[in-house]
């Protein structure tokens, strides 16, 4: 009978409070095991809606949830705000910015970060959107561009008026659509002296179509919606260099821009201390129970876990559903092991993909049906509202969406910058 080596009263440390780490902690509420969740920020971020923070549709607090608030009624769960610098598996210890933390069992749920594919220049000059702070920086940069335009020369205006988004996956497509609606419905009222015909939202994609992992129907509909909104979609194009002012493409053309957002890929947040033989494609190799190769007391979940199964021989997709369900399965297995019961293997069954491009414009691919348009848009909104953690935040997000739907406007366009730091 297969079991985990977890006993009552032992200490389980979770690195990362994303979908996987938070779900595991919630699964172990009031159980006879001490849980410590570690994260370098003090809140859970609802990443699917970060683009709405970046495009001034939602406030950060609407999709951010402080861990200590979440765990107020979790007597066996503690939170530590610190960054993990290294793992010492031989000593069952972690090195953090505030010192060492011991564990009996370790779960790595550190998620992903932006993948610049080794392009150092790009990583220095491009904007990315993996955290709430990065989304706020994008909002600041875009809005500040229009404030600067009043005093800018014609040459400077061209660079300020080109918003370039690299990568036409769900993030890139949703962000492009949001900026297009901002341009069409809101900015002309805020800045009546600026001619927004000159503002270009340029979406670059290295493959032949947007939403490359979705169906032909979804790709076709997304391309049409982007065109209707005025987004300039350039396929089979990718950036070769970007110095902060000029983006150079693979065909030799250049785009002057001060606003380049990189949404072209992610890579695992690997932590020093685990041998490279346990890592594949920058993810930790795990068995069907999410145990790390060669370890009986270390696990990995979600985006950072590489699990081969018959349905997914090259690892699971790095999406929220995988992270949440792996965490639920591991939590159930921990409880079953403590009760002397056998554990269960994990397998992911594709629940589908979806993306929204704008008002009444969305695409949904489910295993049994594919559809797009207004119905898909309502399905997208309903699902995301359901996934938001608290009732209060669900109501806030719903109110903001309803207000925006009726008025085609928002009142969230704050530019929040430091006096000492350049945006």
Kindly report the CATH class assigned to 11-114+267-338: alpha beta
pLDDT at 349 over 70: yes
Q: Mean pLDDT of all residues in the chain?
A: 93
Say if 11-114+267-338 and 120-264 have the same CATH topology. Answer: yes
Domain extent listing, the chain = 11-114+267-338, 120-264
pLDDT of residue 39: 97
pLDDT of residue 419: 61
What would the mean pLDDT of 151-165 be, rounded to a whole number?
91
CA 307, distance to chain mean position in Å, is 20
- Model confidence over 16-37: pLDDT tens digits? 999 999 999 999 999 999 999 9
pLDDT of residue 37: 98
Positive/negative CA dihedral, 264, 270, 276, 279: negative
Find out whether 356 and 377 touch, Cβ atoms under 8 Å.
yes
- Distance CA(305)–CA(346), nearest Å, equals 12
What would the mean pLDDT of 186-192 be, rounded to a whole number?
91
Q: Helix axis angle, 374-387 relative to 391-407, nearest 10°?
A: 150
- Model confidence over 39-72: pLDDT tens digits? 999 999 999 999 999 999 999 999 999 999 999 9
pTM to 2 decimals? 0.93
Residues with Cβ < 8 Å from 63, sequence gap 6 or more?
45, 46, 49, 50, 52, 53, 132, 388, 393, 397
pLDDT of residue 421: 53
Instruction: Identify the bridge partners of residue 362 per DSSP, sorted by sequence position.
Output: 356
- The confidence band for 351, taking pLDDT boundaries of 50, 70 and 90, is confident
Give the whole-number percent of the chain exceeding pLDDT 70. Answer: 98
What is the helix (H) or strand (E) element at residue 392, kind and residue range?
helix 391-407
pLDDT of residue 153: 86
Pick the CATH number of 120-264 from 3.50.50.100, 3.50.50.60, 3.90.1150.10, 3.40.640.10: 3.50.50.100
pLDDT at 91 over 70: yes
- The confidence band for 220, taking pLDDT boundaries of 50, 70 and 90, is very high
pLDDT of residue 119: 87
pLDDT of residue 81: 97
Give me the phi and psi of 387, to 5 degrees please.
-80, -20
pLDDT at 423 over 60: no
Give the whole-number percent of the chain exceeding pLDDT 90. Answer: 86
- The confidence band for 417, taking pLDDT boundaries of 50, 70 and 90, is confident
- Model confidence over 289-307: pLDDT tens digits? 999 999 999 999 999 999 9
Tokens 């403590």 sit at which residue?
338
What letter would DSSP give residue 185? I
Give me the phi and psi of 208, to 5 degrees please.
-85, -10
């Amino acid at each position: 009978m297969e079991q985990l080596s977890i006993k009552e009263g032992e200490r389980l440390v979770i690195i990362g409070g994303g979908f996987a780490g938070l779900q595991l902690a919630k699964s172990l509420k009031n159980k006879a095991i001490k849980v410590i969740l570690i994260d370098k920020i003090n809140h859970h971020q609802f990443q699917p809606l970060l683009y709405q923070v970046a495009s001034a549709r939602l406030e950060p607090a609407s999709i951010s949830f402080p861990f200590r608030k979440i765990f107020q009624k979790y007597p066996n769960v503690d939170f530590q705000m610190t960054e993990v610098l290294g793992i010492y598996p031989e000593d069952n210890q972690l090195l953090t910015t505030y010192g060492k933390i011991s564990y009996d069992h370790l779960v790595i749920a550190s998620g992903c970060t932006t993948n610049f594919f080794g392009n150092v220049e790009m990583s220095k000059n491009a904007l990315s959107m993996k955290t709430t702070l990065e989304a706020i920086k994008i909002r600041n940069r875009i809005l500040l561009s229009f404030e600067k335009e009043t005093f800018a020369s014609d040459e400077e205006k061209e660079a300020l008026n080109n918003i370039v988004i690299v990568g036409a996956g769900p993030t890139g497509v949703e962000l492009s659509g949001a900026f297009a609606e901002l341009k069409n419905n809101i900015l002309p009222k805020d800045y009546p002296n600026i001619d927004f015909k000159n503002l270009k939202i340029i979406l670059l994609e290295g493959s032949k179509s947007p939403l490359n992992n979705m169906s032909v129907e979804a790709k076709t509909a997304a391309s049409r919606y982007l065109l209707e909104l005025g987004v300039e979609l350039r396929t089979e194009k990718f950036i070769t260099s970007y110095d902060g002012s000029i983006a150079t493409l693979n065909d030799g053309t250049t785009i002057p821009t001060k606003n380049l957002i990189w949404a072209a890929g992610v890579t695992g947040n690997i932590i020093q201390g685990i041998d490279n033989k346990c890592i594949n494609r920058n993810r930790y190799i795990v068995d069907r129970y999410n145990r790390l190769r060669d370890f009986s007391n270390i696990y990995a979940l979600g985006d950072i876990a590489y699990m081969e199964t018959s349905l997914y021989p090259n690892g699971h997709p790095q999406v929220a559903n995988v992270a949440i369900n792996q965490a639920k399965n591991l939590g159930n297995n921990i409880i079953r092991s403590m009760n002397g019961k056998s554990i269960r293997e994990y397998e992911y069954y594709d629940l589908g993909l979806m993306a929204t491009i704008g008002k009444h414009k969305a695409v949904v691919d489910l295993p049994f049906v594919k559809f797009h348009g207004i119905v898909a848009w309502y399905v997208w909104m309903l699902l995301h509202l359901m996934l938001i953690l608290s009732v209060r935040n669900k109501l806030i997000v719903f109110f903001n969406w309803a207000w925006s739907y009726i008025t085609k406007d928002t009142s969230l366009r704050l530019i929040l910058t430091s006096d000492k730091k350049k945006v």
